Amino acid sequence: MQLPPLSSGVWGVVATPFSGSTLDVDETSLARLVEHYEQVNVTGLTVLGVFGEAAQLSTEERSAVLETVVDAVELPLVVGITSLGTAPAIEEVRHAKDIVGDRLAGAMVQVNSPNPDVLAKHLRAVHEATGAPIVVQDYPLVSGVAISAESLVRAVRDLEFVVGVKAEAPPTPVSVAALTAALDVPVFGGLGGLGLLDELAAGAAGAMTGFSFPEGLVACVDAWKEGGYDRAREVYTGYLPLVNFEQQAKVALAIRKECLRQRGLIMESSARPPAASMPEALREQLVRHLAAVPVPEVVR
């Protein structure tokens, strides 16, 4: 029996704010950030993803992040799983489930093999050991694994516990089209919203990404549902200069956190090394972009 799929719309990929020279997890900022997400009507949140710097957090810190989010908002949660190996992935899912409980809309597991049988077995093992619904993330830049859309379909199509796919293998609109044509579960775009219009046109159920103005993503997806391309384009175009600025190789995380800080959503914008810090040469332009973004209502 197919588990209920992820709801369509925007799933905000939550940054993990740090504070001070010791870069401790800043739970106050984190709570404020996810409350903002709730206010702008995202469908759900994705916590401990790549842009949540999960690979930089200890188990205890991951607990703190999950607890803070669970306490701060009522939204359904997808929890990112960092490990590519089956046994440690199971350990991570169990840990998340202990904290998130019924709020766990899905454990997001990365593609760990180009071989559909190996991948299917991995996903099944994680599900069977934990009972968790599984979201499959195809993000070759991070996983180091390149799978064809055809193989991904073969791996996933008979897995009744897979509740969504996050498609981040460029060209993503092509991937989204192939996946949505062959799968019953929703497929989400990522990559900061760079190709959101095209992913929606290809059948995407929404976006799952960490763009610093989730309002823009929500407005775009809503507009698409109501008015198709023309309406979505009208709504989203004003965000694209910032989207493109933010989704830059190597410095995307630093830019994004600084945007969140300047919006007042987090207190400090530091990322944990070895992540790059905000390039000073881009600071003025960041301010310009933020000033020009079409925010419908002022956010506290």
C-alpha distances (whole Å) from 217 to each of 12, 42, 202 are 9, 9, 16
Site for its own copies in 185-204 (CB under 8 A): 194-195, 197-198, 201-202
Q: State yes or no: residue 284 binds its own copies (CB under 8 A).
A: yes
Read off the tokens for 83. 């490990």
Residue 246's φ and ψ, nearest 5 degrees, are -75, -40
Torsion, CA 168, CA 172, CA 173, CA 177, rounded to 10:
-70
Instruction: Give the residue, chosen from 7, 279, 290, 295, that forms a contact with its own copies under the rule CB under 8 A.
Output: 279
Q: In this structure, are residues 236 and 223 in contact, taking their beta carbons and an 8 Å threshold? A: yes
Contact 262, 287 (CB under 8 A): yes
292 binds its own copies (CB under 8 A): yes
- Helices 252-262 & 283-292, crossing angle to 10 degrees? 50
Query: 101, 103, 96, 176: which is closest to 138 by C-alpha?
Result: 176
Near its own copies by CB under 8 A: residue from 14, 15, 57, 70: 57
Q: Verify binding: residue 61, its own copies, rule CB under 8 A.
A: yes
Q: Taking the complex as a whole, how short is the minimal distance between the CB of residue 1 and its own copies, in angstroms?
A: 26
**Percentages helix, strand, coil for the chain, rounded to the nearest 5?**
50, 15, 35
What is the amino acid identity at position 22?
Answer: T
Minimal CA–CA distance to 49: which of 57, 40, 37? 57
Give the H/E segment covering residue 24.
Answer: strand 24-25
Residue 144 as a binder of its own copies (CB under 8 A): the answer is: yes
Six-digit token string for 138: 């195809």
Q: Interface with its own copies includes 238 (CB under 8 A)?
A: yes
Q: Which of 102, 281, 298, 300 binds its own copies (CB under 8 A)?
A: 281
Smallest distance from the beta carbon of 177 to its own copies, in angstroms? 4
Q: Is 56 in the site for its own copies (CB under 8 A)?
A: yes
Instruction: Indicate which single residue of 131, 170, 227, 296 sits in contact with its own copies (rule: CB under 8 A).
Output: 170
- Please tell me the count of residues contacting its own copies according to CB under 8 A: 62
Phi (first) and psi of residue 296, to 5 degrees? -65, -50
Task: Report in angstroms how near the CB of residue 74 gets to its own copies at its nearest.
Answer: 29
CB of 23 to its own copies, least distance (A): 9
Q: Choose which of 46, 68, 83, 209 interacts with its own copies (CB under 8 A).
A: 83
Q: Which stretch binds its own copies (CB under 8 A): 160-168, 206-214, 243-251, 262-270?
A: 243-251
* Strand 162-167, strand 77-80: pairing: unpaired
- β-pairing verdict for 18-19 and 187-189: unpaired
Cβ 153 to its own copies shortest distance, Å = 14
Q: Is 151 in the site for its own copies (CB under 8 A)?
A: no
Residue 288, interface with its own copies (CB under 8 A)?
A: yes
Centre a 10 Å sphere on the Cβ of residue 24 and count the other Cβ atoms it contains.
Answer: 12
Draw the binding track, 3-22, toward its own copies (x: CB under 8 A; -: no contact).
--------------------
Q: Which residues are near its own copies by CB under 8 A?
A: 53, 55-61, 83-88, 90-91, 112-113, 115, 118-119, 121-122, 144-145, 170-174, 177-178, 194-195, 197-198, 201-202, 229-230, 233, 236-238, 240-241, 244-245, 248-251, 272-274, 279, 281-282, 284-285, 288, 292
